[in-house]
Amino acid sequence: MIKGKTIAFLVAPEGVEQVELSEPWRAVELAGGTPRLVSSKPGHVQAFNHLDKADTFPVDMTVDDASAAEFDGLVLPGGVANPDMLRTDPKAVRFAKGFFEDGKPVAAICHAPWTLIEADVVRGRTLTSWPSLRTDLRNAGAEWVDQEVMVDTAGPNTLVTSRKPDDLKAFCQAALDAFSD
């Protein structure tokens, strides 16, 4: 259980894969935690079901007003556009990097490791991701594996990664385990 813990979900204003946001969010709530949506802009974020617009979700705070110190862990949902936008936003990258500096658990799925590459926190770590990130992760000094979920504890924090929406059950369980430590 993660009762009493607050977990940040870092999402760009547009392009997050809805199921990769909503399923981990629900898992955190069911485990007694408090999920909080952090984005680079206030208002709402636009989620997608692959390439089709889906629901919008209210932003709880912006990266300007948030710091890793306020949270017990971080979830980075995927989709292609979401992490591509985040990795070009220095404040979002600094926010994500703060969890590694503070030794707090991070869970990233699909294309989300792009943000971690930009934060320069994957060197020496073992990750999985959407297969098209394999070369990017290797070039950034990570070992890439093709498996449903990878839990890496070799660095200053626990890093949980998964490849795709089909891996969400294993991803959510591994993330909750990491957040409960």
Name the pTM for this structure: 0.98
What pLDDT shows up at residue 181? 81
Instruction: Residue 88: give its domain's CATH number.
Output: 3.40.50.880
Asked if residue 64 belongs to a domain, the reply is yes
**Residue 50 falls inside a structural domain:** yes
Catalytic residue chosen out of the listed positions 44, 50, 110, 172: 110
Q: Are 127 and 139 in contact (CB under 8 A)?
A: no
Residue owning tokens 């498996």: 147
- 114 domain-assigned: yes
Pair of tokens at residue 16: 């997050």
Q: Are the C-beta atoms of residues 31 and 1 closer than 8 Å to each other? A: yes
Low-confidence ranges of the chain (pLDDT < 70): none
Boundaries of domain holding 113 = 6-180
pLDDT digits (tens, 9 = 90+) for 88-109: 999 999 999 999 999 999 999 9
172 in catalytic set: no
Calpha distance 167→100 (Å, rounded):
24
Residue 149 belongs to some domain of the structure: yes
109 near 20, Cβ under 8 Å?
yes
List 44, 50, 111, 172, catalytic entry:
111
Six-digit token string for 35: 């999920």
